[in-house]
Structure 1
Amino acid sequence: MHKYKIAIIGLGTVGLSVVQILNKHKNLIAQRSGVEIEIGKVVVRNKKKYECHNLPLSESLQEVLEDKSISLVVELIGGVDYPFEIAKKVFAHKKAFVTANKAMIASKMQELCKLSKGLPFGFEASVCGGIPIIEAFRDSLVGNEILDFSGIMNGTSNFILTQMEEKNQSFSMALSQAQELGYAEADPTLDIQGGDAGHKLLILAKLAYGIEAKEEDVLIEGIEEIELDDIAMAKRLGYKIKLLGIARKEDEFVELRVHPALVPYDCMLSSVGGAKNALSVRGDGVGEMFYCGLGAGGDATASAVISDIVNIARLRECASYPFPAFGSFDFYKHFKLKDRGEIACQFYIKIEVLHQSGVMAKLTSTLAENGVSISQLLQEDKTQSAIIVILTHRCEERKLNEAFCKLLSFDFVLGNPRKIRVYE
């Protein structure tokens, strides 16, 4: 049986899981793939710290690069700039490259494609952990035009929202629990503000549409402003609140957005709780496909990393065959990113107002003057104020924002009004 030697850069949670799974299922992987995966080197900063693992440790990347018996390098250290430098050196030494680094892929995808020059380049673990969604987009659905895809792309945010809904926990309490369980980092900014889901959305959009979009050009909002009364009101209206990444193609435009959304109870995405990820993908041939599973954690991410390693190892006898990471996208050059102001959907608006004569008339007329029509309106009275909840008909983002700014200027408006988009 052919042996395929690899090196691993970084022995954190994911790196250690990769090592453990490769050792635990060595025979199973070999039987299924026809290739025996061998760990040639594991590069760490301090060998003494990891001596207990009985691995071929090294503190030198150069040692790996110069070892001609090592065919593939796995980068699992995180960050952007240094991992990108590693990728450049790996490709320069004609070795295959595998990474779980979503931030680097999202920000450096164009440069990485050029640097790889057809060398095998795997990044399955960069999107939705153990769900094989990269493989689906790049291989399984290659005969389909992707009409749209949307889903839960961040397990931390999904866990927090699930705890708020099912346990009636405040946002801060649910976040603390997510950190205790290891779902959230000490600095959870990327998760709760939508950046992590944004990285994944950009990667999938590149695969689906060949579109080169920058993070700053995409509508990205997080869940940090969601409160328990929003969760309760959504439930009353027949919805659950989820942080979604959404991509839709219409003519020559592609809309990309990440934000909290009211998801109808009868939608499959609404049933996905805890730290799971889920994606709904519509192809013109297969219709809707639904993918769901663990989106984070050492073992789930390691599973995706090993999938890339084995798939590339199977190509060993076709080393000169081009293996483009994102394919050739000349066909897609006409696609443009839709301006965020032109994106249209329904909106949930919650606003607290003083009990004054003519308030409701001012609210409804302001919306109407800006082209926003009301689908449903609820009112909850308090002693000196009232909570007004409005579901709009479908309208453009720009029109809703203009109306919202005018509502904020009224002196009878209390606190911070809320707007959440409705998933359709």
Structure 2
Amino acid sequence: MPHLELFQTLAISLALGLLVGLQRQHQNARIAGIRTFPLITLFGTVCALLAQDFGGWILGAGALGTTALLVAANLMQRLDKKVDIGQTTEAALLLMFAVGAYLVTGKTAVCVALGGAVAVLLHLKETLHQAVARLGEKDLHAIMQFVVISLVILPVLPNQAYGPYQVLNPYNIWLMVVLIVGIGLAGYFAYKIFGDKAGTLLGGILGGLISSTATTVSYAKRSKEGVERETNYNLIALVIFIATAISLVRIIVEVAVVAPGTLAIVAPPLATLVLLMAVLIVLGFFFKKENAGRMPEQENPAQLKTALVFGAIYAIVIVATSAAKDHFGNSGLYIVAIISGLTDVDAITLSTSRLMTAETIDQQTGWKVIMIAALSNIAFKGAMVAVLANRALVIRVASLFGLSLVAGLLIVWLWPEGFVLDWFGE
């Protein structure tokens, strides 16, 4: 087995063990929890690796050893309910036995990394237990929904193109759903950790990771709840603007993941707009008087309904993009970008990135399509603020968004073709 593939196998083994251990720990299982399950899972993986060289009896012996641990734990529980039934030490001993054996015939670096991971896992007992204890039923539900989206649905989807223009690949479409939901879920759990303590900067960053549109709507509505002299509209406008800037950074990350070969063309103009917005954010902090308050409650981004809606939008956008290119050329792509950007800039970003990789769209046109979609999304959020927010907030957001839109349009118009390649070479 190649070195990288071996690490990937062990990483998957650890992740699956942690996943099941998380659920058991949350249910207060006494025999095995957040640490024992990953240790046992890794033990099985190492036994299987050893069996490739020494025969299947090693795997059988490992299974018998694990069974013996469970039998002993249950016997102890029957004899004395006050006894600590934890089997972490026993599982760690079995695993380290297997690591030591594998060290003879396997990769030294793998064994060293595995031994270090076991030591850290044992050391983090209190930290892991406290982290699990802080999880509510809603949080565990979000994790399990993401498991369904990523580990149950994705593997069974056909990896084959269907439909008009042969661009509807169920596996690839759902993979984009997993990517977007994963980013949102990471922001959601960061919000769960920092939400009560989130200041202006962190509140905007978390809002951009979860959903900049939802953050805009939440703060716009909130601006009407307070008395004008008690509401710091500069701070609320800044949170909305930071979330919007982070949504552009998120676009760059999505392109880097989906179409890394196009990043040298797509990232520089987007990064230039982000830099200009960052300058406005820094200037905005000079008018900061007080904290903007607690972040509004964020919704779980791993809802299956949300995933299905995004998947449908992504499929529609990728077909519409291909059709527009076929019938109207580049001008049709820009119209699709404007319309799609009003609803979901992630969908047009991912679809355009994949079409650029497939060379259906040239890269110079592709980055402009993504930029126009992003600008359309900014304009849409500005319109929502105008409808939902207090007049004082509308003025501040309109100033920030207006400058950003003008800068973005100038970048689309004036950005020199091949600028990055001229400086850094192909």
* TM-score over 0.5 for the pair: no
Q: Flag the structure with more relative contact order, 1 or 2, with Cα contacts below 8 A and sequence separation at least 6.
A: 1
**Structure in which a larger fraction of residues adopt helix:** 2
Q: Report the TM-score, using the length of structure 1 for normalisation.
A: 0.29
Instruction: Work out which of the two has the higher radius of gyration on C-alpha atoms and give 1 or 2.
Output: 2
Q: Report the TM-score, using the length of structure 2 for normalisation.
A: 0.29
